[in-house]
Structures are given as C-alpha cells and as structure tokens.
C-alpha cells in the first residue's frame, strides 16, 4: 500500500513539474492557480491516504486558493 501511495505522490509531483514547463507565457495569477492546484493535490493525497477523491478535491481547493491569492 505504501508503494502505491509513493507512486501516486510521485506522479502528481511529476505532472505538476511538467505543467510548470509551459508557464512562461502565463500571468502571475495563472501561475498561482497551477501551483495551488499542484500543492493541493499533494496535500489532499497525503491527508486522505492516497484516495483519488482526496487528491482531486485537494487540487480543486488549492487551485481556487492559488487563484485568489494575488487577486486585486
């Protein structure tokens, strides 16, 4: 079970890192949204023991928070 959890976290981190490669043309708010979604997905996965719903929910919440961080 721990191996699956580590694999899930690794995949999420790798996807977030690959997603950041295309961030050069993004606004600061877009970057914050992407970073928030990545961090939220990792946090959701850890807090729920690697459940898919926790990972997706964490990504959604993190994305919303990241979007609102630098909003004026």
pLDDT of residue 30: 86
| Domain of 7, in residue numbers | 2-69
Do 60 and 36 touch, CB atoms closer than 8 A?
no
What percentage of residues in the chain have a pLDDT greater than 90? 29
Q: Give me the pLDDT at residue 21, please.
A: 73
Encoded tokens for 27: 């606004």
Question: Residue 47 above 70 pLDDT?
Answer: yes
Within 10 angstroms of residue 64's Cβ, the number of other Cβ atoms is 14
pLDDT category at 23 given cuts 50, 70, 90 is low
- Answer yes or no: is pLDDT of 25 > 90: no
Residue 60 has what pLDDT? 93
Average pLDDT over residues 29-45: 90
User: 27: Cβ–Cβ under 8 A, 6 or more apart, which residues?
Assistant: none
């Amino acid at each position: 079970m721990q191996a699956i959890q580590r694999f899930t976290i690794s995949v999420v981190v790798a996807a977030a890192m690959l997603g950041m490669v295309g961030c050069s043309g993004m606004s600061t708010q877009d970057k914050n949204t992407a970073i928030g979604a990545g961090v939220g997905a990792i946090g959701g996965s850890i807090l729920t023991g690697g459940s898919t719903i926790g990972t997706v929910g964490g990504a959604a919440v993190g994305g919303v928070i990241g979007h609102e961080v630098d909003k004026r």
